Structure 1
Amino acid sequence: MSPSDGLVARRRASPFAASALWKGMKRWLYVFHRWTGIILCLFFAIWFLSGLVMLYVSFPSFRAAERVETAAPIDWGRVHVGPDHALAQLNLPDFPGEMRLDMVGGEPLYIFVTADGRRAVSALTGQETGSVDASRAGVIATAMVQAPVASIVAVDHDQWVVTRAYKALAPFWRVRMADGAATDLYIRQRTGEVVQNVTAHERFWNWLGAVPHWIYFEALRIFQEPWRQTVLWTSGIGMLGAMAGMWIGLLRVRLKRRYKSGSVSPYRGWMKWHHVVGMVAGLFLISWVFSGWLSMSPWGGLRDRGHRDAASLYADARAQFPATDLPGLARRAQDAREVRFGWLGGRPVITLWGKGRPQLLDGVGAQPMAIDQAFVVAAARHAMAGAKLTAVEHLDHADRYWYATGDPRDDNRPLPILRLKFADPAQTWLHIDPATGALLGQTGSGARSYRWLFNALHSLDFPWLLIWPPLRHILVWLLSTGGLLIAISGIVIGWRRLMKG
């Protein structure tokens, strides 16, 4: 055979080799999709059903807004110790990350969040609280819920206080109340703070909602990294399996030259349902699983990097707090349910929280204090030293990055606010309350990308859907129903396949 004859033979053989390679790839594509579907379609069905539950019942939390809402007004007749003496009692090298005055079981208590944990000093005696026994926990719980105690149990963690944040606060007293809601209050044994509250309604629906949706079972969730890897690999493999199914579906669908039956799909029965619905709702399913996978921060996720955290610098705090006109503070804060102490632009300030908007006072004379935009901007510039301020926006309505979804436990985005944009490596935006100067939020370019890649794709909180929430709920139901049909049909197909052997 001449060299030219060999070349011709190779050219003739190459299309056949490419065809064989393509057939082999398709075969493994089918195998991969089939077995990932058999294993994970049940997970998909659970995720869609539990996601619909989460649309109406979120995971329990006890955030600052709810803490203030449920708190009793400060009993100023029992406040004998000023904030300066209370803080000095702890002998801290730096000003605490948070310092506030609350009513805890009928006693005014200064709560401090420090680098070494949370500590408390009685505003009545000036002594640091060492521990809270079960009897005292019952008093605290009764004062908050206005109902008798049914039981008190000591816990380090359980299903509702299982994350790392709660681990730093443990141990707790879990106090079951004899109220109509069968409320459980979790009271920190060291300081007496209520850190979580869960009703029977929330416990029931979260076992059908957030717990299976996040694979949030206590036995796994207490181990942060194993739990994270479980969710990452489960959702990651499921995402690849769904993408393989979408590819197969596109290969098999015929829109113009249809099959003999007149259908766009060659399948029948459950296979046809799986194919057709997969073509309609498959892209949503993939985007939903992708966004859930992204929430687990694969390879570090979309963390903001660059400038140091402005939240820890914005107040420009000194180590101590000056002596405050306590009688004057008591007169102006008669209806306050929480009093917060801090520094703003090098000045000591007090913020009164209760019903309605917070009120800002001078930290020494306890006089009403007004701040202007120039003062806020100067404080922010100082906190973001070395970063150029590129824009100052006054926002009096929700927009793409500052909005509420309607969840009373998760939404804490008041209006109006100031938005300050900086040209640092993270492209930081600061969101500031113009009335109190409080730093309400800090986001960088990574967090803003996460807003679209997770929040928008996973929760459908697009601005145009938030204008009329019922439309968002209808769309979530429709798309979830499509995803559920894909999952259920996949379960049936997979079961039949296994039964055949």
Structure 2
Amino acid sequence: MKRYFYLWHRWLGIGLCLLMALWFVSGMVMLYVGYPKLTPAEHLTHLPELPARDCCIDLAQVFAASGRDDAPQSLRLSSAEGRPRYLLGYADGSGVTLDALDGRRIEAVDEAGALASARQFDPRATAHYLGLVDEDAWTHSRALDGDRPLHRVQLDDAEGRQLYISSHSGAVVRDATRTERAWNWIGAWLHWLYPLRGPWWSNLVIYSALAATAMALLGQVVGVLRWRFSRPYRSGSRSPYRGGFARWHHVGGLLFGGVVIAWIFSGLTSMRPWHLLDSQSTLTASAYQGGALRAESFPLPVREALARFRQAGLHPRELEWRMVGGEGVLQALEGNGNSRVLAMDDANEPLRRLPESTLRRAVQAMAAGTAFEVEELTAYDFYYFARAEQSMNGGLQRPLPVLRARIDDAAGTWLHIDPRSGALLEQLDERRRLARWLFNLLHSWDWQPLLQRPLLRDLLMLAFSLGGLVVSVSGVVLGWRRLRRAR
């Protein structure tokens, strides 16, 4: 049996050590430079304030002009091409864009419109049109599917930023700085094997990670079997290898092998292989909303709502309508992220947060008679936490305080609710909480004692990554030597 352990480890290593070396190098880059994204903070910062006068047509006109019979899942008043626009999103992934001043439906955005949106994003920079793309190295995200094809515009700003602009709405949906583009060729682009992206990409990543996990586990077994615990070899060493790459590989594997296995396996789980970690909860967001987005749920005219927000000292750059437990709620957002809400059942003064009774009614409707409990979190914990902007989840909003509702259903569902807006931020059942352990803890080390000490976390991750790189590179050399000998 020992011989088979050696052979499987050797031949898997010959095929996979180079890939693992690339994973370690790219992972170290990703600690500091993430895959390009347009964060909510960047989005709001680069929006103009909504007009103080003559804005905008009311929702009854919006729904009539949309040409759709089904209710949208999302509705925002934002800006594109320098003009306020209504953005409606539907369950099938499609969207409708309307000019908020005259109700005109925007069917497509041309080159001139894309340049106008780029000037809105940064009025001080000169914009150069680079063409229309369906997908390129920085736009692989499926979240952009409803906006494709994308206009690409280069800004002559200090960061050499490229903007990706929806050809359907004119909204800027992604930006990529010169630094992000340069480092990501050896960062996320390599880490996620994007050069091999195609119909089989997902399975390629899954089975490569599975094989690498098996290789690393076998390596640990072989390493322990070859280590002399009771008496050393004739050389006086506990390892049979006196020096060179073989010794580096053996000793390095024993020192860093556990972390290597954890990283590879947890990277595998990030792909949600074979739907093993998919949510099993049967509770739906539509039940939480308690009704469809309809004009009659928002009787307050838009002009009056904007006036009330301004009287409260807020200068809105974006409005968002949502349903919470059958009640219409309107949220206004400033460029710095400050917000206020108006509840349509009592649309008097804008509030900093919704009453907890409103949110409890929404949870009760979603729980459908199942017992639940609600607590308020004022600090991050293992299941609710914020990450640095460059991280994979750095673009997710994680405000505090937040309400956590624990529902006693079969899947053990937890909800995270933003009391400032009533938005359902996250739905975690037992499987998704398990994924927190298998990926966020083992792969990203998302553990509050480390997240609160970012320098220590970075130093530890760099040290173990360098250890893994030593194991991988020495494995590449040994594999190359074995192939040359066999040839």
Q: TM-score range by the shorter chain?
A: over 0.9
The aligned amino acid for 1:385 is A
Match of 2:371 in 1: 388
In the TM superposition, what are the counterparts of 1:27-66 in structure 2 within 5 Å? Answer: 27-66=3-42
Q: CA deviation at 1:348?
A: 1.6
The aligned amino acid for 2:329 is V
Question: Bigger relative contact order, structure 1 or 2, given CA contacts below 8 A and separation 6+?
Answer: 2
Q: CA deviation at 1:163?
A: 3.4
Distance 1:341 1:319, change over 3 A: closer
Please list the CA deviations of residues 432-470 of structure 1 after superposition, one character each: whole Å capped at 9, or x if unmatched: 122332212111111111001011111111222112111
Q: CA deviation at 1:87?
A: 2.2
Match of 2:249 in 1: 274
Q: CA deviation at 1:166?
A: 2.3
Q: CA deviation at 1:356?
A: 4.1
- C-alpha separation between the residues in 2 aligned to 1:125 and 1:359? 26
1:362 aligns with 2:340: no
- C-alpha separation between the residues in 2 aligned to 1:259 and 1:380? 66
The match for 1:144 among 103, 106, 121 is 121
Match of 1:165 in 2: 143
Tell me, yes or no, if the aligned pair for 1:50 and 1:212 is still in contact at 8 Å: yes
Equivalent residues, number: 471
Match of 1:482 in 2: 467
- C-alpha separation between the residues in 2 aligned to 1:387 and 1:176? 53
Please list the CA deviations of residues 172-207 of structure 1 after superposition, one character each: whole Å capped at 9, or x if unmatched: 111112222221111111111211111111111111
Q: CA deviation at 1:52?
A: 0.5
Alignment TM-score, normalising by the size of structure 2 = 0.92
The match for 1:129 among 95, 106, 109 is 106
In the TM superposition, what are the counterparts of 1:33-432 in structure 2 within 5 Å? Answer: 33-116=9-92, 117-146=94-123, 147-217=125-195, 220-223=196-199, 226-268=200-242, 269-309=244-284, 311-322=285-296, 323-334=299-310, 335-354=315-334, 355-363=336-344, 365=347, 367-369=349-351, 371-389=354-372, 391-407=373-389, 409-432=394-417
Larger radius of gyration: 1
Q: CA deviation at 1:472?
A: 0.7
Tell me, yes or no, if the aligned pair for 2:97 and 2:105 is still in contact at 8 Å: yes
Report the 3-state secondary structure (helix = DSSP H, G, I; strand = E; otherwise coil) of the residue aligned with 1:77: coil
Please list the CA deviations of residues 387-416 of structure 1 after superposition, one character each: whole Å capped at 9, or x if unmatched: 321x21111011111112322643421101
Q: CA deviation at 1:371?
A: 3.2
The aligned amino acid for 1:402 is Y
- C-alpha separation between the residues in 1 aligned to 2:407 and 2:300? 35
Q: CA deviation at 1:372?
A: 2.1
Tell which deviates more after alignment, 417-426 or 66-75.
Answer: 66-75
Report the 3-state secondary structure (helix = DSSP H, G, I; strand = E; otherwise coil) of the residue aligned with 2:295: coil
Q: CA deviation at 1:259?
A: 1.2
The aligned amino acid for 2:226 is R
- C-alpha separation between the residues in 1 aligned to 2:211 and 2:343? 56
Tell me, yes or no, if the aligned pair for 1:99 and 1:111 is still in contact at 8 Å: yes
- C-alpha separation between the residues in 1 aligned to 2:141 and 2:382? 29
Q: CA deviation at 1:260?
A: 1.6
- C-alpha separation between the residues in 1 aligned to 2:154 and 2:291? 40
The aligned amino acid for 1:361 is L
Distance 1:151 1:435, change over 3 A: closer
Distance 1:230 1:349, change over 3 A: same
Distance 1:371 1:460, change over 3 A: closer
Report the 3-state secondary structure (helix = DSSP H, G, I; strand = E; otherwise coil) of the residue aligned with 1:168: helix
Q: CA deviation at 1:83?
A: 2.5
Report the 3-state secondary structure (helix = DSSP H, G, I; strand = E; otherwise coil) of the residue aligned with 1:458: coil
Q: CA deviation at 1:343?
A: 1.7
Alignment TM-score, normalising by the size of structure 1 = 0.90
Report the 3-state secondary structure (helix = DSSP H, G, I; strand = E; otherwise coil) of the residue aligned with 1:434: coil
- C-alpha separation between the residues in 2 aligned to 1:448 and 1:145? 40
Distance 1:293 1:326, change over 3 A: closer
Please list the CA deviations of residues 259-293 of structure 1 after superposition, one character each: whole Å capped at 9, or x if unmatched: 12221101122111111111110011111111111
Mind listing any 5+ residue stretches in structure 2 that lack a counterpart?
none
Tell me, yes or no, if the aligned pair for 2:416 and 2:424 is still in contact at 8 Å: yes
- C-alpha separation between the residues in 2 aligned to 1:257 and 1:95? 75
- C-alpha separation between the residues in 2 aligned to 1:44 and 1:488? 9
- C-alpha separation between the residues in 2 aligned to 1:498 and 1:100? 60
Distance 1:78 1:38, change over 3 A: farther
Distance 1:130 1:60, change over 3 A: same
Mind listing any 5+ residue stretches in structure 1 that lack a counterpart?
1-24
Aligned-residue sequence identity (percent) comes to 37
Tell me, yes or no, if the aligned pair for 1:157 and 1:167 is still in contact at 8 Å: no
1:491 aligns with 2:476: yes
Q: CA deviation at 1:366?
A: 6.4
Tell me, yes or no, if the aligned pair for 1:51 and 1:213 is still in contact at 8 Å: yes
Tell me, yes or no, if the aligned pair for 1:111 and 1:119 is still in contact at 8 Å: yes
- C-alpha separation between the residues in 2 aligned to 1:419 and 1:413? 13
Tell me, yes or no, if the aligned pair for 1:328 and 1:366 is still in contact at 8 Å: no
Match of 1:451 in 2: 436
Tell me, yes or no, if the aligned pair for 2:147 and 2:169 is still in contact at 8 Å: no
Q: CA deviation at 1:319?
A: 4.7
- C-alpha separation between the residues in 1 aligned to 2:411 and 2:42? 32
Distance 1:319 1:435, change over 3 A: closer
Distance 1:319 1:98, change over 3 A: closer
